[in-house]
Structure formats: structure tokens, C-alpha cells
Amino acid sequence: MEPLPDPPESWRLAIIGSGAVGCYYGAKLARAGSRVSFLMRSDLAHVRRHGLDIRSHLGDFHLPAVHAFGSTDDMGPADVVIITLKTTANPALETLLPPLLHPGTRILTLQNGLGNEEFLAARWGADRVLGGVCFTCINRTAPGRVEHTAQGALALGSLTPASHATAAAMAHLFERAGVSCRHADDVTAVRWRKLVWNIPFNGLAIAAGGIDTQRILDDPALATLASRLMEEVIAAAGLLGYPQPDGLVSDQIAATRTMTAYRPSSMIDFVEGREVETEAIWGEPLRRALAAGADMPRLTMLCALIRSLVAQRRAAL
């Protein structure tokens, strides 16, 4: 891999998937002085005229001048491409990414679930690929507007030593932008830690009829089921070689209570008739857990229910 230029502050960054996550982290980087371009679709005209409006518990800000584009052909090569598309759109990356790549370009996925790094590595080489995990409560509430209500930290890592320094440099850029970010030695272990939360809360929010996290925790049966699902995911992660810290279930429940009535992104996608990241968040973790010999009765049932509900919703549209 060709080295990227020094200093990292000079890197050209491209955000692919300018929803809540892409707009929030991209706007933070741009406000701190990074050269950030955004691929946008539905918000393109609005953002070109009005900029990005970030409402955050860490401090609101407005980014008036945004380098927003409707096509990657118009963006030009980038040093780091940051992918924040829903995983259901991954096949589109085969045409979206090539115009952005030069011989040294790295590709950072901040997507949910499992399998995204492998998808990218199979097509563009493992040396290019960085993995990132977002621990944040964030929604897009209007054109060009993002509501960031809790948390916000990132963890980044590389698949091979060739991009180890790039991952560390990207963590520095995020820290410089006011984002708590650590360089993780094993990003897959961090992905499993996020799944401990995502699997039960995104899943039960859908399965229980489109409810928020507070309603899940206020219902004793759903709260217990959330804890049991967390325990299954933690056990599976351990069998796969990604042990999780003691007390994680109680810590996650306590953290979720501070989110109050948070609407998980997968539930919003479901109730608004958009594609749900069923396989990345539930299907792939379940397949890997079962292959490792884990007993996953609750996740097996939840995954089947979500697949059925999504199929019914798709048929009704």
C-alpha cells in the first residue's frame, strides 16, 4: 500500500452515506478543519443551500459550507473513504467506491453488525480496510438536521499491520474533532460488544411493535428478555474468542436507562418502510454463534421474527 501524505490533517476524507451517522461525524471532522466531502441524495439541495445543523448533547453547532455531491464521480479520489451506508446498500459500493480510490486510499466502515470488513477486504484488499464501531444515540430528524442525544464514542482498528498507523491517525483526527475515539487492537471484539446492545434493543423495539428503549425497560418481561439476549450474545462472543467484560449486562441496562425514550435506528427504518439491516445485526451474528456451538434459542427466535416482520412489511408496501 502506498503511504498517505503527512500530516493527517491534510487528508481528503469522503463520507459515503450521509444519514445521521455520516452527517454527524463528518460535520465534526469538517468543523475541526479536515477536508471532508459528503455523498448525499435526498438532502443534497437542502444541504448545499443551508448547510448541516447538528443538535448534540455535547453542544449544538451549524456547518454552513458543506462539500456535498450527488455522485462519487464528481468527488474525486480520497485518502480515507468513510462508509456510513446501511449495510443493505453494500452491493452499491462496487460502483460507488472505484472513483474515490487511489493506490493508497483506505476504507473505513462505521457500519453496524458483522461482515462489513470482510465484504470490503474481499473486493479491495484487507490492507486498505479499517473497521470502526460507533457507540452513539443519533437520528436524522429533518433534511440536513441530526439529533445526537447520548454517548458518541468511536473505536477504530485495522485488519492488517499495513493500515495500523492509518487507524491510529484517524483516531487522532476524530479526537481533534472532539469525538472520544480509541484505537482498538481487535475491532471484531468491539463489534461483538456493540451487538450486546444492538441485538436486543433494536430487535425488541421492532418485534414489540415499534417502541422505544424506555418502553422496553419499563416492561418487566421485555426487560428480562433483553438481559437474556445480552447473556446469549456475550456467551457466543466468548466462544468465538472475543470475551466481554464482567458486568456488561448491568452496565448496558444502566446506560440504556440514561437514554430515556430513544428510538433505535433499525426500528425507525422498519416503521418508516425502509430496508432493515436484518442480516448484519441478527443473521450473521447468529450464524457465527451457531457455528461455534453456542446455544442461542432467544436470538434464533428473535431473528426469525424480525425476518418475518420485515418480509410482511415489504410485501405490504
What residues are labeled active site?
A: 194
Please calculate the CA angle 223-289-208 and round it to the nearest 5 degrees.
Answer: 30
The separation between CA 220 and the C-alpha centre of its own chain, rounded to angstroms, equals 29
Q: Yes or no: say if 53 and 146 are a contact pair by the CB < 8 Å rule.
A: yes
In the numeric block, the cell 487511489 is attached to 102
Cβ atoms of residues 28 and 179 within 8 Å: yes
Q: Which residues 6+ apart lie within 8 Å of 198 measured at CB?
A: 112, 113, 264, 266, 281
Go through 234-273 and write b for each residue having 16 or more CB atoms within 10 A of its CB, e for each that does not.
bbbbeebebebeeebbeebbeebeebeebbbbbbbbbeee
Residue recorded with cell 480496510? 129
The beta-carbon contacts of 96-101 under 8 Å, at least 24 apart in sequence, are 96/16, 96/39, 96/72, 97/16, 97/72, 97/124, 99/72, 99/73, 99/75, 100/14, 100/16, 100/72, 100/75, 100/76, 101/77
- What's the grid cell of residue 31? 468543523
3-state secondary structure (DSSP) of residue 154:
strand
N-term to C-term CA, the chain = 46
Q: Cα-Cα-Cα-Cα dihedral of 125, 162, 174, 134, to 10°?
A: 50
The C-alpha cell of 2 is what? 502506498
